[in-house]
């Protein structure tokens, strides 16, 4: 493990096989990825240059500066007629020696990422994040604008490292008449694909206040079909006690 002097970047050797796919081609395949925490919340993958098909990299002649990683040299990834402009970054003279001779691919610009033989979404899974989902008999009530929109004595509590407890409730314990489907979809590398609803209370519509994982990833199967509310934006009562609204990046 290493970091710059201010602790902004942490670097560790990963143990998983990682493959990067673009335009139907595996452009990188490694069993020795680096996990690099550029932000505190989750890591990025850096792939050894020797495990990248560098014939697909076209230098742009441009660089971008990182205070902790140094000057990043940009390349466009080109496969056939498809391009991902400036999607590959290298730090050949980085003050973090581990990053030299590695390539960072822009996650969203790629078509797919695999950890071993399982596709992973949004960002790499952190080895320091754990998700526990436990049945509970706590009484949970959700209010929006003074209106009770959900009430249950059979919640499932989801504990995820670094995040507040989330209360997943059966749909039969939710005022579904107040929910309006949203077009929003998000992905979580630990839980899978989430769909969203907005909540209408009187004349007010609060967008994307509720989400559910219809078919979660296997490790989170217990929350399949249940719904959770954004506790940051609603009033949550547990066993009659109003919970403090969490302050999160969400």
Looking at the domain assignment, is residue 171 inside a domain?
A: yes
Kindly write down the DSSP assignment for every residue of 173-192, as one continuous string: GB-GGGEEEEEEEEEETTTE
Looking at the domain assignment, is residue 1 inside a domain?
A: no
Query: How far, CA to CA in Å, does 140 sit from each of 5, 49, 203, 207?
Result: 45, 51, 25, 22
Same domain, 115 and 144: no
**Beta carbons of 122 and 129 less than 8 angstroms apart:** no
Same domain, 96 and 143: no
The per-residue pLDDT for range 145-193, each reduced to its tens digit, is 999 999 999 999 999 998 999 999 999 999 999 999 999 999 999 999 9
Same domain, 185 and 214: yes
pTM of the entire structure? 0.85
Same domain, 115 and 137: no
Q: Band the pLDDT of 248: cuts 50, 70, 90.
A: confident
Segment among 5-19, 33-47, 212-226 with least mean pLDDT: 5-19
Q: What's the number of domains the chain is made of?
A: 2
Looking at the domain assignment, is residue 3 inside a domain?
A: no
Return the pLDDT at 247: 87
Same domain, 147 and 80: no
């Amino acid at each position: 493990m290493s970091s710059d002097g201010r602790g902004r970047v942490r670097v560790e050797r990963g143990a998983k096989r990682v493959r990067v796919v673009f335009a139907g081609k595996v452009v990188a395949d490694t069993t020795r990825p680096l996990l690099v925490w550029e932000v505190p919340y989750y890591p990025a993958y850096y792939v050894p240059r020797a495990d990248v098909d560098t014939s697909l990299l076209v230098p742009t002649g441009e660089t971008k500066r990182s205070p902790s990683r140094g000057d990043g040299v940009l390349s466009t990834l080109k496969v056939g007629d498809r391009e991902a402009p400036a999607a590959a970054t290298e730090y050949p003279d980085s003050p973090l020696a581990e990053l030299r001779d590695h390539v960072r691919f822009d996650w969203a610009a790629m078509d797919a990422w695999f950890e071993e033989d399982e596709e992973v979404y949004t960002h790499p899974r952190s080895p320091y994040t754990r998700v526990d989902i436990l049945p509970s008999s706590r009484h949970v009530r959700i209010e929006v604008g003074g209106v009770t929109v959900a009430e249950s004595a059979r919640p499932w509590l989801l504990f995820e490292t670094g995040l507040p407890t989330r209360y997943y409730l059966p749909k039969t314990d939710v005022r579904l008449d107040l929910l309006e489907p949203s077009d929003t979809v998000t992905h979580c590398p630990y839980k899978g694909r989430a769909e969203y609803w907005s909540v209408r209370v009187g004349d007010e519509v609060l967008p994307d206040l509720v989400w559910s994982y219809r078919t979660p990833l296997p490790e989170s199967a217990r929350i399949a079909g249940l719904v959770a509310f954004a506790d940051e934006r609603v009033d949550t009562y547990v066993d009659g006690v109003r919970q403090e609204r969490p302050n999160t990046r969400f």
